[in-house]
Structure 1
Amino acid sequence: MAVGKGLSYKARRRWTLVILLIGLPLYIVAAVSIVNLLDRPSILVELLVYVGLGFLWALPFRYVFRGVGQADPDAEGDDSNGPGA
């Protein structure tokens, strides 16, 4: 890994799995707990809170998620991760 490059592609894929499998369920529990503190607001307010929280959870992880669904840019001519693999 080059100096100043940041996380490698494989590290970003691993962190993405950790965030989605552990972090997201925890965030969902927190979001539901926050909405429960509001004494059952109107359906529109509740929807806006869920949409806002759903958008906010991904903001800190933009860099980790960026390009994870693409082929490994560090692979040199290796087609083993391609669509036919």
Structure 2
Amino acid sequence: MKWIFIGSIIAMFLTALFSGQVSYVHVPRLFPYLLLFLFARGLMYLTKLLKLYKKGPLHSIPHFTKNAENTRITGMIDFVLEQRYKDMIS
């Protein structure tokens, strides 16, 4: 969500710059370099995403083990408390 907002702000500034509303910046010299930078940045981001998606889900196994450990600890606490209260009630 953050990147969508940042991208829309950048698009707004670029539109104002290249439409001629900002007259003190000489656009024709900067335009090819800006496009090259944006293309390279987008290509690096796309490569990073493709590598990440090839690996598959990263958080499923640690999340499962964490939940299993919490369930085991909760079960042990419940067992100890039940035993203690059974002795107190009986």
Fold similarity call, TM over 0.5:
no
Q: When the two structures are superposed, what TM-score results if normalisation uses the length of structure 1?
A: 0.35
Q: When the two structures are superposed, what TM-score results if normalisation uses the length of structure 2?
A: 0.34
User: Whose helix fraction is larger, Structure 1's or Structure 2's?
Assistant: 2
* Greater gyration radius: 2
